[in-house]
Amino acid sequence: MVIRQGDTFIVKSSDSTDAEIQNRLTRTTPPMDVAIAEKLLIEVKEVMDRRGVQFFLRQGTCLGAIRDSAFIPWDDDLDLGVILGANGFTEESVEPLLAAFRESGFYVRSESSDSIIYATLLKNMIRVDMLFHRVIGEQIYHWPGIWFPVTLFNQLKEINFIGEIFLVPNPPEEYLRIKYGPDWQTPKRFGYAKDVVDNVPTEPKLGFLQRMERTISGFFYPGNVTRLKVLDNHGAPVDQANIRIVGLGSFKTNKQGYAKLYLKTKGYSSSIASGISDELGDIRSIVVSYGNHEEVLYEEILAPNRLYLYEPDPAQTEGRIFVLSKLDPP
């Protein structure tokens, strides 16, 4: 519940219920109720239109609109974007817009990183991921490490979707190819995550001096180092498993199954802003591979100075998220 006092919006304690719902929806990703999602997207559009904010459909919402002319049946949220600095919309415009959504009954959380202002909205059991993109070097950032040329967003394309006119990147086919790969027209409920991370440029290998600098930094600033223990299907530690943190780098486990992860802050979005966790950490895509095994963990929380455990699940080899468990340091 939001109460207005003058020019201030006070979030009352009943918002904790919304936070719990948002947490559960984010972690379990149940499919949206399409009828409710359609009404909510139109309501979001009305709020944006009243304030003269130009926005576009992105990621899964854009994919469904262009490929299927409908929401993807298993999609779990609405994905929208705004370019900061375009059409008179600035960083100072963000909070009044979010206040307007609060006044319209939405639960809102937000966080800022170098590349975006990230807001997650909730109403009627539907999540809305709204990104306000900073233009950096004529590019904008998308999860989990993809940079798009800003030219795709300079002249947005109008499409008819759910009986309304919406905007999408232009050309949308190029946007979807960059995001989802050349096979974007093939519906995939789980396998799309591998397509996406494979489409992110591989992080450059560090030279000797860079590795030394990282090691020394981890020694003097241990709070930036997180460890991940990798077990195989039999519960045994895996030596030389490759841990790729998409957009950050790759790390190897030792004979005891531990890998040291040298984290940088901030990433795409914090777990606090997303309503996933009360612990400050970044949401990352992780690829764990060893032998014939490879699993893409599309969304995981990595907080500094923590110990996490990865265990494969032979019954589910793809589509898992938020599966790393925290361990007490030995």
pLDDT one-digit tens code per residue, 60-78: 999 999 999 999 999 999 9
The yes-or-no verdict on residue 325 having pLDDT over 90 is yes
Burial 151-175 (b: 16+ CB within 10 A, else e): ebbeebeebebbeeebbbbbebeeb
The answer to whether the pTM exceeds 0.85 is: no
Q: Domain 2-199: give its CATH code.
A: 3.30.460
Predicted local distance difference test score (pLDDT) of residue 279 = 55
pLDDT one-digit tens code per residue, 123-165: 999 999 999 999 999 999 998 889 999 999 999 999 999 999 9
- CA-CA-CA-CA dihedral for 184, 185, 186, 190, to nearest 10: 40
Q: How far apart are CA 4 and CA 98, in angstroms?
A: 13
Predicted local distance difference test score (pLDDT) of residue 275 = 46
Lowest-pLDDT range, 54-68, 102-116, 172-186, 268-282? Answer: 268-282
pLDDT one-digit tens code per residue, 102-113: 999 999 999 888
CB-neighbour burial class of residue 34 (10 A; exposed 0-12, middle 13-18, buried 19+): middle
Domain boundaries, the chain: 2-199, 208-327
Task: State the distance between the two ends of the chain, measured CA to CA, in whole angstroms.
Answer: 43
Provide the token pair at 128: 């809305």
- The sign one gets for the Cα dihedral 111, 93, 129, 131 is negative
Predicted local distance difference test score (pLDDT) of residue 14 = 45
Q: Higher confidence at residue 27 or residue 3?
A: 27
Predicted local distance difference test score (pLDDT) of residue 204 = 56
Average pLDDT in the chain: 85
Q: How far apart are CA 45 and CA 216, in angstroms?
A: 50
pLDDT one-digit tens code per residue, 275-315: 444 456 788 999 999 999 999 999 998 888 899 999 999 99
The yes-or-no verdict on residue 272 having pLDDT over 80 is no
Burial 250-284 (b: 16+ CB within 10 A, else e): bbebeeebbbbbbbeebbbbbbebbbbbeeebbbb
Predicted local distance difference test score (pLDDT) of residue 191 = 86
Predicted local distance difference test score (pLDDT) of residue 25 = 62
pLDDT one-digit tens code per residue, 216-263: 554 445 557 899 999 999 999 999 999 999 988 899 999 999 999 987
Cα–Cα distances in Å, from 179 out to 9, 147, 311?
37, 9, 28
The yes-or-no verdict on residue 268 having pLDDT over 60 is no
CA 11 to chain centre: 25
The CATH H-level (homologous superfamily) assignment of domain 208-327 is: Carboxypeptidase-like, regulatory domain (2.60.40.1120)
